[in-house]
Chain A
Amino acid sequence: MPKNERYLNRIELLQGTLDLLILQTLQWGAQHGYGISQAIRANSGEVLQVDTGSLYPALHRLERQKWIASEWTVSENKQRVKLYRLTAAGKKQLASEHSRWAQLVEAMAGALNPRKSEA
């Protein structure tokens, strides 16, 4: 994977976690694709790199699942942009993804630190 060399100091997103990040980002308001990728990068302290090749498929998939909705609007500088926003179903999904993430972290911690669970 030569492509990855460029992002050595960044972590590839696990499958599924991108969804969580997108939903999380949209919690604060409607945003366009580029804005979402910038927000994720900024909020993770430049660690998480969102691959555009994953972002747009994820957005369209989430939209199809009706967790997010989109509409075309005109921005301040008079340009047509597609904004995504969280739906009610998306908000619920975000909550359950949160708790799953917590489970995963716990499970990961257990798996990486077996002694702890013995103690």
Chain B
Amino acid sequence: MRFLAGFGKRLHRLKPVLPKLIGGGTGFSLWAFFWRRRRDRDLDEEIRNHLRMSAHDRMERGETAEQAEAAARRELGNAGLIKEVTREMWGRASLDRLAQDLRYGIRMLRRSPGFTAVAVLSLALGIGANTAIFSVIDALMLRNLPVHDPERLAAVGLQGEPLAPPFPYPLFVRIRDGAQGFSDLSAISVTDRSNVTINGPGGGLDTGLVRVALVSGNYFSMLGVQPAMGRAFSADEDRVPGGHPLVVISDRYWQRAFARSSDVLGRTLSMNGAAFTIIGVMSRNFLGDWIGRPIDLWFPMAMQSQVAMEMQGFLTRGNPWIRIVGRLQPGVRREQAQASANAIEQQYQREIAGPNPPPQVLRMIAQRHLKLFPAGAGYSPLRVSFGQSLTILAIVVGLVLLIACANVASLLLARAEARQREMAVRLAVGAGQRRLIRQLLTESVLLAVMGGALGFIFSVWSASTLSTFSLGPTQLDSRAPSQWVSLDLHPDVRVFAFAAALCLLTGILFGLAPAFRGSRVSLAPSLTGRGASSDGGSRFRLGKLLVISQVALSVLLLIGAGLFLRTLRNLQAQDLGFDREHVLLVWTSLGQTGRQGESVLNFWRTVQERAASLPGVLSAGISNQGLLNGWDGGTPDEPMKIRGRTPRGNGLGGWRTYVSPGFFAAAGIQLLAGRDFTERDTATAHRVVIINQAMAHYYFGNDNPVGEYLWADGPGDWVEIVGVAKDFTGGTPRVRELELPYYSYRQFGHAMERMCLVVRTAGNPASMGARIREELHTLDAALPVLKIDTVAEQLSDVLVQERLMASLSGFFGGLGVLLACLGLYGVMSYTAARRTNEIGIRLALGAMPENVLRMVIRESLVLVLAGIAIGVPVALVATRLISTKLYGIGASDPLTISGAILLMIAVAAFAGGIPARRAANVDPMVALRYE
């Protein structure tokens, strides 16, 4: 028997085709899983048949029924065991096998908690960061509006302009009534209000900011959205100007102002004395079609003059202020509708130009082309201002994820080394290589899923932080409070699917190579414990390659981070040209209160006087542009006209500013020549202007501009230059070369809708905020105070994208370096451990520990330098893509690059130094006995 048993083994080898007991599995088979019960019943019956037939035979041979049955049972043996063994032959159902792999994987991961923690954490950071950026990109750029058939929505814009400019309402009416191909066309205008009064119980003045949209009557039906309660406007509820005092409120506003009370329908709210009846509450998921600017209240377009009192009569005037969005008729292509709308626009422009337009106007009209853009994903200026930054960030976090994957891969490789014996045992007992790969991949996907789950939580938290931090005020509206932009970032199925796909992808990406290597084990050396120093060299080379690529990616990230950090530093350190320590900026929106003409001038005069007389305030001034308003001045189109001089070049970008006497003193802006405005510069006095230094230099060179005259479009008159103000940062620190003519608001008396009160304080300006707000409240309780800022706060709002890029790229650069060093540390510890024997011999032969230390450090430096040698050239190419985001620094700034290299080497020397020191301290005797 024993002989035969021994022979059986050899027989087994002779017959490799004998069924493999382990791991001969076919693919995923649900059938096997769900029909197991049926197969169980079949097996029972098969064994019963066997017994019956056996007993039957015996009875035929003359045994009694009882005897026959008993003998048959005896002969059969343990029926339960037979069935058990037989069932195993069916092969495990794939799900069973997966469960087994998972159980085993969890056990292995729990056995090495340090490894698991590092792997899961690095993956969580990588996957979390990617998911967070994706959710912002998705919310801002990709996701369709929750409307009916968003693909058929089209927005009217201009060719060559990524952001649709506003259009005049009369043009909209013409296109709506005349253009072919639209089934519906709507006009939308969004403004911010802060003087809404809720009537009825629990009501009162809502001093908070309210986002208001004026929309055509057909707006909701055009989009195909339904209110959750009540009704939306009907198509003809925007026909009579002032005749439809109705409002639809958002779910959020219902919550905010009415605490979701069910009797909200039929109640009223008032703005500037006009009462509006609430006819509907919009469904929770529709926030308007402006992404990042959720609407609180929708009013019919006909109520324009009641809602926006500072824009009287805009329904008939040619001022551009609305967006146009429509739904294409089924089967109509955008181009067809576009041609029709464009023809109407051309006709409209020619009519505006009058009977005998100058040739340049005709040329401008001819160059202007209406274009229809897809509008299913809604409208957002943020896409233009923020898209590039988001793309760069997506690349950065993608690189971090790659580094994390490389890290986990090298950890897995090192582990595969340690598990060689385990793998050898499993191979020896008959597991196939495929089975081992599946097991190892299951473990790595398990790691990825754990990392992904943690990362998903991390992303939900960080995406909301990211959106308030970064998308706060935009450069388009930095005079608004930080909470103003809000993206809908609730984690939805798409984001979850993205994270899940990322998990699987990374799990396979970093798991595949180690799994293939790990499962290819030569049995004898592994089992006898002699393999450690003789093979595995190629596996180790892979580890080194991973470290090199990690270092290369980290250097790339570090250089990018360095450039962004220095850009931010340069911008922050920029001389602003005014007193940044003692100035407080108070942004208000008087226009909303409906004040007109003289009363506005008087109101501001009082405000300025009262503010200046407050204790602790040195002086106060007023400007409709304030300081640091975030604008870049746009592209110059036309030079200023100077009396008696030929126009020069294209002029500079810039804007007109209306200020009060004393504004320059309050802001701490030096007057280089001439005088400030005085009380005598009234509407009836000689018209005067103060220009800035850059403008003076551009138009007058070294001549003194004081006393010269320039043409002011507003009043259509020549105005005398009476002063030159030193340049200061009116918009953003990036742009100093602007032409900024200043007029006295008391002389010209318009553009007063928004004003910034500039207050100069003796002490810390931040402490004066509350006092000034109080003072304004006593002057007019309904005056909307948009925000009160110190210069530092305003600057950080204006530099929001720079801060975002600097802090995130710095954070991820640091993370990348940390991960790369972990990888380096792992590989160096591993090589050092493998060479314990060799090092022991060297030491025994008289090598000094310093020599060993140097040897190991040199080895890690070679890896780091190789990584740097790859990373720097890549960075030199890659940073060109971000050069427009930089300031005061070149994309291949040598200081930044060498700083990044030095930092990388220093950190790497530290990471490589620990295993080196360990190696140098090896006891030769122990080392020689090591194997």
B is bound to A = yes
Give A contacts to B, CB under 8 Å. 1, 4, 12, 14-16, 19, 32-35, 38, 51-53, 56-61, 64-65, 72, 79-82, 93, 96, 100, 103-104, 107-108
Chain A residues within an 8 Å CB radius of B7: 14, 108
Sample of 23 A–B contacts (CB below 8 Å): A4-B1, A14-B4, A14-B8, A15-B8, A15-B11, A16-B15, A19-B18, A33-B49, A38-B57, A52-B50, A53-B81, A53-B85, A56-B43, A56-B47, A56-B83, A57-B89, A60-B86, A60-B89, A82-B45, A93-B17, A100-B14, A100-B15, A108-B7
Contact between chains at B91 and A16 (CB < 8 Å): no
A32 and B77 within 8 A (CB): no
B356 at the interface (CB under 8 A from A): no
Q: Mark B41-67, 1 if CB is under 8 A from A, else 0.
A: 011011101101110010000000000
Sample of 10 more A-B contacts, CB < 8 Å, known A53-B82, A60-B90, A108-B7: A15-B18, A33-B49, A33-B50, A34-B49, A61-B89, A64-B89, A80-B45, A80-B49, A82-B45, A107-B14
In the bound assembly, the distance between CA atoms of A100 and B16 in angstroms comes to 11
B703 at the interface (CB under 8 A from A): no
List the 9 shortest-distance A-B pairs measured between CB atoms, nearest first: A60-B89, A61-B89, A34-B53, A56-B86, A34-B50, A57-B85, A57-B86, A53-B82, A57-B89
* A85 CB to nearest B CB, Å: 15
Cβ of B82 and Cβ of A52 under 8 Å apart? yes
Instruction: Please name all residues of chain B whose beta carbon is closer than 8 Å to the beta carbon of A108 when the two chains form the complex.
Output: 7
List residues of chain B with CB within 8 A of the CB of A59.
86
For A100, the chain B residues whose CB sits under 8 A away are 14-15
B492 within 8 A of A: no
B929 at the binding interface (Cβ < 8 Å): no
Which residues of the partner chain A approach B15 to less than 8 Å between Cβ atoms?
16, 100
Q: Which of A15, A51, A104 has the most CB of B within 10 A?
A: A15
The answer to whether B19 has its CB under 8 Å from any CB of chain A is yes
Contacts across chains A and B counted by CB atoms under 8 Å: 84
Chain B positions within 8 Å of A1 at CB level = 1
Contacts A16-B18, A52-B75; A57 near B88 (Cβ below 8 A): yes
In the complex, are the beta carbons of A56 and B82 less than 8 A apart? yes
The reply to whether A104 and B50 contact each other, CB–CB distance below 8 Å, is no
Interface status of B12 (Cβ within 8 A of chain A): yes
Give the complex CA separation of A31 and B349 in angstroms.
Answer: 94
A81 with B49: CB separation less than 8 A: yes
A77 to B86 CA separation, bound complex (whole angstroms):
27
| B599: interface (CB < 8 Å) | no
Q: How far is the CB of A63 from chain B (nearest CB, A)?
A: 8
Say yes or no: B49 contacts A82, CB within 8 Å: yes
Decide if B11 touches A52 in the complex (CB within 8 Å).
Answer: no
Task: Provide the residues of chain B in CB contact with A52, threshold 8 Å.
Answer: 50, 75-77, 82
Contact A15 B86 (CB under 8 A): no
With both beta carbons as reference points, the residue of chain A lying nearest to B19 in the complex is identified as A61
Q: Which residues of A contact B12 (CB under 8 A)?
A: 15-16
Distance between Cα atoms of A79 and B7 in the complex (Å): 42
Cα A57 to Cα B54 in complex, Å, equals 18
Find the B residue at minimum CB distance from A67: B19
B884 within 8 A of A: no
Question: Chain A nearest CB: distance from B3 CB in Å?
Answer: 10
Chain A: CB-nearest residue to B85: A57
Find chain A residues with CB under 8 A from B47 CB: 56
- In the complex the two chains form, what is the Cα distance from A34 to B15 in whole Å? 27
Known contacts A52-B77, A53-B77, A61-B89: A79-B49 contact under CB 8 Å: yes
Interchain CB contact under 8 A, B8 and A82:
no
Contact A82/B46 with A34-B54, A56-B82, A100-B14 known, Cβ cut-off 8 Å: yes
Taking the closest CB of chain B, its distance from the CB of A60, in whole angstroms, is 4
Residue of A nearest to B26 (CB): A64
CA distance A72 to B1 in the complex (A): 38
Q: Which residues of the partner chain B approach A34 to less than 8 Å between Cβ atoms?
A: 49-50, 53-54
Where chain A touches its partner, the secondary structure class is helix
Answer yes or no: B635 CB below 8 A from chain A CBs: no
Shortest distance in angstroms between A61's beta carbon and chain B's nearest beta carbon? 4
**Nearest A residue (CB) for B78:** A53
Q: How far is the CB of A40 from chain B (nearest CB, A)?
A: 14
> Which residues does chain B contribute within 8 Å of A4, judged by CB atoms?
1
Cβ contacts under 8 Å, B57 to chain A = 38
Q: Which residues of A contact B17 (CB under 8 A)?
A: 93, 96
Contacts A32-B49, A34-B53, A52-B77 given; does A82 touch B42 at CB 8 Å: yes
**Closest-CB distance, B772 to chain A (whole angstroms):** 85
Contacts of B11 in A (CB 8 A): 14-16, 104
* Interchain nearest-CB distance for B61 vs A (Å): 12
Complex Cα distance A51/B86, Å? 13
Q: How far is the CB of A109 from chain B (nearest CB, A)?
A: 13
Known: A34-B53, A34-B54. A103 touches B82 (CB 8 A): no
Give min CB distance, A30 to chain B, whole Å. Answer: 14
| Chain B residue with the shortest CB-CB distance to A3 | B77
CA–CA, A103 to B11, complex, Å? 10
Determine how close the nearest CB of chain A comes to the CB of B80; give it in whole angstroms.
11
Q: Bound complex: CA of A32 vs CA of B18, how far in Å?
A: 23
**Highest count of chain B CB atoms <10 Å: which of A14, A16, A103:** A16
CB of B90 within 8 A of CB of A64, answer yes
Q: Could you mark each residue 67-99 of chain B with 1 if its beta carbon is under 8 Å from any beta carbon of chain A, else 0?
A: 000000001111001110110111100000000
- A-chain residues with CB within 8 Å of residue B53 when the two chains form the complex: 32, 34-35
Contact with A along B722-740 (1 / 0, CB 8 A): 0000000000000000000
Q: In the complex, which of the residues B8, B45, B78, B91 contacts A64, with contact meaning CB atoms closer than 8 Å?
A: B91
Complex Cα spacing A52 to B90, Å: 17
Given known A-B contacts A14-B8, A56-B86, A61-B89, A103 and B49 have beta carbons under 8 A apart: no
The reply to whether B77 and A51 contact each other, CB–CB distance below 8 Å, is: yes
- What's the minimum C-beta distance from A73 to chain B, rounded to whole angstroms? 12
How far is it, in angstroms, between the C-alpha of A71 and the C-alpha of B837 when the chains are bound?
64
Across the interface, name the chain A residue whose C-beta is closest to B39: A60
| A16 / chain B contacts, CB cutoff of 8 Å | 8, 11-12, 15, 18
In angstroms, Cα B82 to Cα A65, docked, is: 19
Neighbouring B residues of A35 by C-beta, 8 Å: 53
Which residues of the other chain, B, contact A72 by a CB distance below 8 angstroms?
Answer: 42
CB of A56 to closest CB in B, whole Å:
4
Complex Cα–Cα for A79 and B86 (A)? 23
Docked Cα-Cα span, A32 to B57, in Å, equals 14
Task: Give Cα distance in the complex from A64 to B14, angstroms.
Answer: 22
Residues of B253-312 whose CB lies within 8 A of A: none
Q: How far is the CB of A25 from chain B (nearest CB, A)?
A: 15
Give the shortest distance, in Å, between B14 (CB) and chain A (any CB): 7
A97 closest partner in B (C-beta): B15
Chain A residues with CB under 8 A of B78 = 53
Name the residue of chain A whose CB is nearest to the CB of B45.
Answer: A80
A1 vs B5: C-alpha distance in the bound complex, in angstroms? 14
Contact flags (1/0) for B9-30 with A, using CB distance below 8 Å? 0011011011100000000000
The distance in angstroms between the C-alpha atoms of A14 and B52, with both chains bound, is: 28
Cα distance A24–B224 in the bound complex, in angstroms: 73
Q: Point out which of B42, B75, B76, B89 has the most chain A C-beta atoms below 10 A from its C-beta.
A: B89
Nearest neighbor of A108 in chain B, beta-carbon distance: B7
Q: How distant is B527 from chain A, measured CB to nearest CB, in Å?
A: 24
Give Cα A11 to B154, complex, Å: 86
Residue of B nearest to A63 (CB): B89
Chain B residues with CB under 8 Å of A81's CB are 49
Q: In the complex, A16 Cα to B12 Cα: how many Å?
A: 8
For B43, list chain A residues within 8 Å (CB).
56
Interface string of B600-644 (1 = CB under 8 A from A): 000000000000000000000000000000000000000000000
B623 → A minimal CB distance (Å): 86
Roughly how many angstroms separate A52 CA and B48 CA in the complex, as a whole number? 12
* CA gap between A66 and B116 in the complex, in Å: 42
Q: Mark B202-227, 1 if CB is under 8 A from A, else 0.
A: 00000000000000000000000000
CA distance A47 to B82 in the complex (A): 22
Bound-state CA distance A73–B702 (Å) is 111
The residues of B that contact A58 with a CB separation of less than 8 Å are: 89
B1 contact set on A, CB distance < 8 A: 1, 4, 12
CB distance from B915 to the nearest CB of A (A): 50
